[in-house]
Structure 1
């Protein structure tokens, strides 16, 4: 009996040993199967493959001069100091028109003529005064001849002298009246000699330049002071560059500073001038201050009323690291970042502090390591790839 119990005990010990060994193996297997914690991911670097790298262009960080400036919008206009609105000082009906819009005219060249009742009256007065002057002059000569032979009374000679002086005064007054109508002495002499009343008033250009507008045709009735003026004549070799600057920027702009203009109508043709006027008031509707520059000898194709973008340099330039505009990514938080690389496949995100862009480049106000190579075209793709990797 005791021997049988000893055998059972030995079997129990063996089973327990087996169970213990199996349990240890199970724990070991669980430990081996348990995942090891991975190293934390790099949230500032993104890797791309060779095929994706073909869509990303690289460039070196360069340095450029950046001048403080003020941007504005505006237009091109006639030089109002050399623009004449030509009208008639007297009422009348247009007889002939001698020029059209776009013509080049000289100073004193006739633009149009009209039948003027005032001129007709003045010419008639000259004809009458000339006739009276001739008659009284002849009467005075006869009176003097008769006085020499005592054939008339002294008062007859005195009366003849008085009549001739009155006629002479009227004649000179009639001549001066015609000079008001811009009649020359030769024309006045011809009217007096021929006794012909025409009444044609010719309106001449007061300046040399180009006809900018024509608002009259034969048969039209012209009244002084009524608009628009029959003709506009301006100097086509002198134009105004007019810029409208926001109120906050206006104190930075002064007369004599360089102004650069770019026009959508003339791409790739920058225009340079100097500010010669800064307005003393701000427009109540737009809250902008007007400034202008005179442009002499404008380039071909530049026309008044064209829209323009302006940049006014307000200080000396300073040198900064420069980033192309397409290399900068604005994130949702408002941060401005770039992506640097050493091999073209791994790109690291770098926040940067930038100034106002100029000519397609941003000045870098924060420190950058020298000789950096950055992604330009494709930088936005890298930003999106990094954001997906971080999720």
Structure 2
């Protein structure tokens, strides 16, 4: 600070009242670089500037993996491509698939034979030609063969074959080692982890496909800010024209920054957001919420464990303690017993803070 600044600061200290009011005229304020501005519009009923991350709702994200050990023959889509339900994503060559098909045909034949044996023995038992125990044994063998056939059929379904393909296999008896992976939903390819010619074991992820509308927000909120929040409250992302509803309020605090995790579902304007993106969200609160204002961080002065602002008066400035509900990168949301028509210092606050600390003899 220049010598002239220290001179005027000395004058200020000489004119301080016991009510934490700093007496100075317009010339002194200008010399100290103090600038005032009207208090911004009140934000009653909303919590603004909350840090949030855009995420994909869990029920809209799918991972497509190799059902059997196979070699990638061809990939048909790339990252960012839109896909429809049932669209082919890649073709694979899998000897294990041919083996599974052979097992199905074999179990199908055994199940059919067991069914015929059961029908024959049932008639013989009714005619009194065979004992009931033999009939029960034949019945048990039929059930075992049917269960084995159902198991083989389910294995082929998990391998990517449709019911129509399985029926065709039983009719034509034509084995094939080609396996086609398809999309389970209408969505967008987010990840692709394999390329043509690559050999893979079973259950290796190849694609991630997601539905990107609606999207979700994970919001970190201070505990004190969540008292007036309710599930169903309106949530907006003003910078991107997106809005939705609050769907969940966490019950536990995070260990590092002692915040509560909030979740919101964004239905309107979700196309303006991207998964993984960091944004600032505004949440509406209940009608009993405190009066709130969004102030530039430069207007706040921290003295010990208190935060104060400086309100312009007829004779200079007076300090007013405020409560910070949320501190952002540039602005902070505060609450206080203000009328809303005050003018506050937004620049030169450090000089006023130094004067105020001089009152207490610090």
Q: 1:365 aligns with which of 299, 312, 337?
A: 337
CA contact (8 A) 2:235 2:282 kept: yes
1:233 positional shift:
0.6
Deviation readout 1:323-363 (Å, 9 max, x if unpaired):
95478453646572525255xxxx42313232436765644
Q: 2:44 aligns with which of 58, 66, 84?
A: 66
Asked if 1:234 is matched to 2:210, the reply is yes
CA contact (8 A) 1:353 1:364 kept: yes
Deviation readout 1:19-52 (Å, 9 max, x if unpaired):
xxxxxxxxxxxxxxxxxxxxx9532311343993
Asked if 1:338 is matched to 2:310, the reply is yes
Say how many residue pairs are matched.
301
Q: 2:320 aligns with which of 330, 352, 359?
A: 352
1:230 positional shift:
0.8
Which residue number corresponds to residue 88 of structure 2?
110
Matches within 5 A, 1:41-120: 42-43=15-16, 44-49=22-27, 52=30, 56-60=34-38, 64-67=42-45, 69=47, 73-120=51-98
1:210 positional shift:
0.3
Aligned partner of residue 255 in structure 1, secondary structure: coil
CA contact (8 A) 1:96 1:113 kept: yes
TM-score normalized with structure 2 length: 0.63
1:290 positional shift:
3.2
Gap regions ≥5 residues in structure 1: 1-39, 132-165, 263-267
Distance 2:97 2:307 in 1: 77
Matches within 5 A, 1:145-294: 176=153, 180=157, 181=159, 182-183=161-162, 185=164, 189=168, 192-193=171-172, 196-226=174-204, 229-245=205-221, 253-261=229-237, 268-269=239-240, 271-281=242-252, 288-294=259-265
Change (3 A) 1:210 1:384: same
Deviation readout 1:299-331 (Å, 9 max, x if unpaired):
455221222344544422668596954784536
CA contact (8 A) 2:72 2:196 kept: yes
Deviation readout 1:140-194 (Å, 9 max, x if unpaired):
xxxxxxxxxxxxxxxxxxxxxxxxxx9xx99xx699579635245368548855x
Which residue number corresponds to residue 8 of structure 2?
none
Distance 2:275 2:198 in 1: 28
Distance 1:287 1:390 in 2: 32
Aligned partner of residue 324 in structure 2, secondary structure: coil
Change (3 A) 1:338 1:270: farther
Distance 1:250 1:371 in 2: 27
Change (3 A) 1:198 1:58: same
Aligned partner of residue 354 in structure 1, secondary structure: strand
Aligned partner of residue 90 in structure 1, secondary structure: coil
1:75 positional shift:
1.8
Change (3 A) 1:297 1:364: closer
Distance 2:317 2:189 in 1: 61
1:270 positional shift:
6.0
Distance 1:82 1:94 in 2: 26
Q: Which has the larger radius of gyration?
A: 1
1:372 positional shift:
5.4
CA contact (8 A) 1:322 1:361 kept: yes
TM-score normalized with structure 1 length: 0.59
Root-mean-square deviation over aligned CA pairs: 4.7
